[in-house]
Amino acid sequence: MMPVLAGSAVVRVSLAPVDFRLGLDGLSLRAQAVAGASVFSDVFVFFNRGLDKVKILRYDRHGFWLCYQRLARGRFVLPGSAVLDAVELGLLLEGIDLSVRRLAPVVAQRLA
């Protein structure tokens, strides 16, 4: 996991494609307009139209972080939800489709 995401609680994903010519200022304005949340508390994830590039915007006490990843092969799979946690973001960046749930939920039972 990237150190910029350590300790982050809420990850907001823009499900609409974003123009990747936007920098820190443009993406922060887009994040405020779309999410209606504070840019200073959440992590924002933006994908391009081809789904082979991703930009992650986060603010820490020193300023903004802008992380950029471009895939050599393949495409990212957009999540079904616009709100993720840091673990799900890590899985998404590894190329795992979050809509596929392979494991059944385990229900704890009390043994008598």
pLDDT, one tens digit per residue, over 6-30 is 565 688 888 899 999 998 899 988 8
Q: With pLDDT > 90 as the criterion, what percentage of the chain qualifies?
A: 27
Torsion of CA 37, 12, 15, 25, to 10 degrees: 60
Count how many domains the chain has: 1
Mean pLDDT of all residues in 95-102: 78
Q: Which domain holds residue 46?
A: 3-93
Could you tell me the pTM of the whole model?
0.80
pLDDT at 31: 86
Task: Classify residue 67: in a domain, yes or no.
Answer: yes
